[in-house]
Structure 1
Amino acid sequence: MADQANKQKIVHVHLPKEETFTTTLTAGDHELIADEPKTVKGGEDQGPDPYDYLLMSLGSCTVMTIRMYIKRKEWPLDDVFMELKHSKKHSADCDNCEDPKSKIDVIEKEVIVEGDLTDEQVQKILDISKKCPVHRTLMGNMKIESSITHK
């Protein structure tokens, strides 16, 4: 399992020249579409926008992590789902920013659980929700290495 977790995955993203924003995303045998909403000039709303995918990634990782933990503990969890929101807010963290218009990206995560759980179990589920790998990645020190190939 550790070898599989360390294996680098490749996702392909393609925006054909005849499209304005409608983009094909391929991960293994899975193909998805990303787009901008019609309110954005050229957007066709053919799929979620990139921030939606970010939230879906975080949400799916979180509920999977919770489910694994609950299964191991054999707690009476009937259902788990999430609602997530992304916004840009001026926050106290920006009070010392060079640009007075600077804003911080804020993701609001609400974990919704159903089942005969104690208050202590519910609190532990919230704690576990912050330990999913995607949450840790977003909160950690991240480095994005960019390169370009010209054909």
Structure 2
Amino acid sequence: MIADNGTVVASIGRDHYKTELTAGTHTLLADEHTGNGGTDSGPMPGDFMRMALASCTAITLRMYADRKKMDIERIDVTVNSERTDYKTVFKCEIKITGNITDEQRERMEDIAHKCPVHNVLSHPIEIDTWIAH
């Protein structure tokens, strides 16, 4: 289970569809592209989900590589997603720059599947939503 790292708040005013996101001391903007009526002042909501998977995968791999003292200069994770009638498929491409063996590359792929966001997205999710009074 993932530890609760806090609450995220999304606040939107009358600007279509600029939304301020707050997570602890960090503030980001989300928006829609101009073609969808937004101002394109930030990533779209689905982009944040892909960014969460990409960044969590990269961090998990870096932690593992550092712990195993692997000679890795850089890890790039690219995530795309496609929606079908029945599910969403996330496609995660990992490029590792450094001096590692084929066996280490295979192990890194196994480790990528262990990132906390990957685990959340690949298991059933329940969302409880309500309107506060």
Q: TM-score range by the shorter chain?
A: over 0.9
Q: Whose strand proportion is higher, 1 or 2? A: 2
Report the alpha carbon displacement of residue 142 of structure 1 after superposing the two structures with TM. 1.4
Partner in structure 2 of residue 24 of structure 1: 20
SS class of match (1:32):
strand
Describe how 1:129-144 pairs up with structure 2 within 5 A: 129-144=112-127
- Relative to structure 1, the CA distance from residue 7 to residue 107 in structure 2 (aligned partners, 3 Å threshold; closer, same or farther) is closer
Q: Unmatched 5+ residue regions in structure 2?
A: none
The 1-side partners of 2:56 and 2:71 are apart by 20
Matched, 1:149 2:132: yes
The 2-side partners of 1:6 and 1:127 are apart by 22
Report the alpha carbon displacement of residue 86 of structure 1 after superposing the two structures with TM. 1.3
Task: State the structure with more CA Rg.
Answer: 1
> How big is the alpha-carbon RMSD for the aligned residues of Structure 1 and Structure 2?
1.3
Amino acid at match of 2:94: V
TM-score by length of 2: 0.93
The 1-side partners of 2:127 and 2:86 are apart by 21
Report the alpha carbon displacement of residue 51 of structure 1 after superposing the two structures with TM. 0.8
The 2-side partners of 1:108 and 1:24 are apart by 28
TM-score by length of 1: 0.83
State the Cα deviation string for residues 68-91 of structure 1 (Å, max 9, x = none): 1111111111110111111113xx
State the Cα deviation string for residues 34-56 of structure 1 (Å, max 9, x = none): 0011111x211000001110000
State the Cα deviation string for residues 59-109 of structure 1 (Å, max 9, x = none): 1111110011111111111110111111113xxxxxxxxxxxx24211110
SS class of match (2:35):
coil
Runs of 4+ in 1 over 2 A off after TM superposition: 5-8
State the identity as a percent: 36
Amino acid at match of 2:9: H
Partner in structure 1 of residue 101 of structure 2: 118
